[in-house]
């Protein structure tokens, strides 16, 4: 592994952090444990760049794990947030901005008739699962291995020992009771989902799936997978929850559904959103069919609430961001994602580094493996993570900030320009050489058993 070049101010800050914060970070992947070294502490962002406490500037290919689709400190977002802050930070009452944001989401994503705002993607999926259970009067949830839906207890489940057996806790602290109604199946295996439905379809409240899986590296749904889930849910009276927390308002105006569901003429019953729709502040949402959403309190019996839900500053950031997300922005993000993926893949190929380039719309990642394709979590885990670590650190030293784990998607923004591409192109060959220098013996996977978790 490349010895990380010194970053004394970050290292000092990390030592301080470790004394008072578990692992020194407020979300695990930030700690760099998957790639080694110590994390960089950032002090500011501007367009496609981040600046750390040592005064170094990096091209940012994480973009806050998705939200910063316009780049950092976009003038329209900064202005909207500043105005909102000056008008008071929270009222605990309804506000006009919440209605405007809900209207914008409903307008953009056809099948969403009603939407409720929450504070994180985790809250959105937790609430959608509760609502699906309340609506159907059933208990069982099907989820897919490697799909991450936030740290909801019932969804931090690992596969049981056989077909249609119930999930086991995937982390200490989650009880067997919490996962006892969760069935975990391999991603992209529609036949298995069909078999489980055949066996116990009348107990299944919902299937929850990432619209395109991007928390085990990027693994797009095989053609017909999402549509097939829709069909099976219809046959058996279950709800389909499409988790678009990462893909929503990033892949297109209407997320992944906007390019696949709309085209194939299927819709989920419920969507979950987050990341881009908060514009970098804590805002998320779940929404969908009016008859389902109307079961939520106070309209209906299913309880759900939040002191800061629909917070006026978060809503202002989200509104300004979505309003600026024009067709041109999506075209730019698509093009830049393709450019960066091409530069990196070419550099790896030139150095003979085996890899599978993976993408779903403008989300992309690379599996450092000899395999020709990756379609599920088992496939994603068989990769040479030490090679990724070497690649990561060489890029970091050259001022390119990549996801600090081989199991995360890469993100670009509309602010990523030609100058950024040149910097990446200049850095990639040396990073590919560093990866090539790591032996071919694939070490035991260093993946956490829990996928995702930015
Ligand atoms: C990030 C993410 C979540 C969790 O969102 P948080 O805001 O981190 O709680 C849920 N689902 C998907 C698909 C995500 O990518």
Stretch 182-194: mean pLDDT: 97
Please tell me the predicted confidence (pLDDT) of residue 174: 95
**Residues 293-324 pLDDT 10s:** 999 999 999 999 999 999 999 999 999 999 99
Give, using CA atoms, the residue closest to atom 11 of ligand 1: 149
Q: What's the 346 CA to ligand 1 centre distance in angstroms? A: 31
Pairing of strands 204-210, 239-243: parallel
Residue 272: closest CA among 400, 170, 172, 122: 122
Please tell me the predicted confidence (pLDDT) of residue 122: 98
* Angle between the N-to-C axes of helices 327-350 and 418-436, in degrees from 0 to 180, rounded to the nearest 10: 30
pLDDT of 57 over the 70 cut: yes
In this structure, are residues 383 and 445 in contact, taking their beta carbons and an 8 Å threshold?
Answer: yes
- Mean model confidence pLDDT for the chain: 95
**Residues 316-331 pLDDT 10s:** 999 999 999 999 999 9
Q: What's the 277 CA to ligand 1 centre distance in angstroms? A: 12
pLDDT of 2 over the 50 cut: no
Pocket test of ligand 1: the residue of 215, 216, 309, 314 to mutate, having most ligand atoms within 8 Å of its CB, is 215
In this structure, are residues 245 and 150 in contact, taking their beta carbons and an 8 Å threshold?
Answer: yes
Task: State pTM to two decimals.
Answer: 0.96
Cite the active site residues: 148, 243, 275
**Residues 197-248 pLDDT 10s:** 999 999 999 999 999 999 999 999 999 999 999 999 999 999 999 999 999 9
Ligand 1 atom at minimum distance from 282 CA? 7
Please tell me the predicted confidence (pLDDT) of residue 446: 46
Please tell me the predicted confidence (pLDDT) of residue 166: 87
Instruction: Tell me the C-alpha distance between 264 and 376, whole Å.
Output: 23
**Residues 269-279 pLDDT 10s:** 999 999 999 99
**Residues 109-165 pLDDT 10s:** 999 999 999 999 999 999 999 999 999 999 999 999 999 999 999 999 998 877 667
pLDDT of 94 over the 60 cut: yes
Q: What's the 255 CA to ligand 1 centre distance in angstroms? A: 14
> Is 148 buried (19+), middle (13-18) or exposed (0-12) by CB count in 10 A?
buried
Could you list the beta-strand ranges (E) of 280-389. 284-288, 356-360, 363-367
Please tell me the predicted confidence (pLDDT) of residue 453: 53
Please tell me the predicted confidence (pLDDT) of residue 197: 97
Could you list the beta-strand ranges (E) of 309-391. 356-360, 363-367
Pocket test of ligand 1: the residue of 64, 121, 211, 454 to mutate, having most ligand atoms within 8 Å of its CB, is 121
Phi-psi category of 36—alpha, beta or left, where left has phi over 0 and alpha has psi -120 to 50?
left
Give, using CA atoms, the residue closest to atom 6 of ligand 1: 121
Residues with CB under 6 A from ligand 1: 120-122, 125, 148-150, 210, 215, 243, 245-246, 274, 284, 454
**Residues 362-416 pLDDT 10s:** 999 999 999 999 999 999 999 999 999 999 999 999 999 999 999 999 999 999 9
Please tell me the predicted confidence (pLDDT) of residue 1: 43
């Amino acid at each position: 592994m490349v010895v990380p070049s010194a970053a004394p101010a970050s290292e000092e800050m990390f030592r301080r952090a470790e004394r008072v914060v578990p692992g020194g970070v407020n979300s695990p992947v930030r700690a760099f444990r998957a790639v080694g070294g110590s994390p960089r502490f950032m002090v500011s962002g501007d367009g496609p760049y981040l600046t750390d406490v040592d005064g170094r500037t990096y091209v940012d290919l994480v973009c806050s794990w998705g939200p910063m689709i316009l780049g950092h400190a976009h003038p329209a977002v900064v202005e909207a947030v500043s105005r909102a802050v000056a008008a008071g930070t929270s009222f605990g009452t309804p506000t006009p901005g919440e209605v405007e944001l809900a209207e914008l989401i409903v307008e953009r994503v056809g099948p969403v008739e009603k939407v409720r705002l929450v504070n994180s993607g985790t809250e959105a999926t937790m609430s959608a699962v509760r609502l699906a259970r309340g609506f159907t009067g059933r208990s069982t949830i099907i989820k897919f291995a490697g799909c991450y839906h936030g740290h909801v207890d019932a969804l931090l489940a690992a596969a049981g020992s056989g077909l249609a057996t119930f999930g086991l806790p995937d982390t200490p602290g989650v009880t067997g009771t919490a996962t006892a109604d969760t069935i975990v199946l391999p991603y992209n295996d529609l036949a298995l989902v069909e078999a489980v439905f055949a066996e116990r379809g009348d107990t299944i409240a919902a299937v929850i799936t990432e619209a395109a899986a991007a928390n085990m590296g990027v693994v797009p749904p095989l053609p017909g997978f999402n549509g097939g889930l829709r069909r099976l849910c219809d046959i058996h009276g279950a709800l389909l929850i499409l988790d678009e927390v990462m893909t929503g308002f990033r892949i297109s105006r209407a997320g992944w559904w906007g390019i696949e569901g709309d085209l194939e003429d299927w819709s989920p019953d419920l969507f979950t959103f987050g990341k881009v729709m908060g514009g970098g502040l804590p805002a998320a949402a779940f929404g969908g069919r009016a008859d389902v959403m109307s079961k939520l309190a106070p309209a209906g019996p299913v309880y759900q609430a939040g002191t800061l839900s629909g917070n006026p500053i978060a809503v202002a950031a989200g509104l300004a961001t979505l309003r600026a997300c024009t067709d041109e922005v999506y075209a730019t993000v698509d093009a830049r994602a393709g450019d960066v993926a091409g530069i990196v893949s070419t550099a790896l190929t030139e150095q003979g580094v085996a890899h599978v380039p993976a993408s779903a719309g403008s989300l992309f990642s690379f599996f450092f493996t000899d395999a020709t394709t990756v379609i599920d979590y088992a496939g994603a885990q068989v990769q040479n993570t030490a090679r990724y670590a070497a690649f990561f650190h060489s890029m970091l030293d050259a001022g390119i900030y990549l996801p600090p784990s081989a199991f995360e998607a890469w993100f670009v923004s509309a602010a990523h320009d030609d100058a950024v591409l040149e910097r990446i192109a200049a850095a990639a060959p040396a990073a590919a050489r560093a990866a090539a220098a790591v032996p071919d013996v694939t070490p035991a996977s260093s993946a956490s058993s829990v996928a995702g978790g930015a």
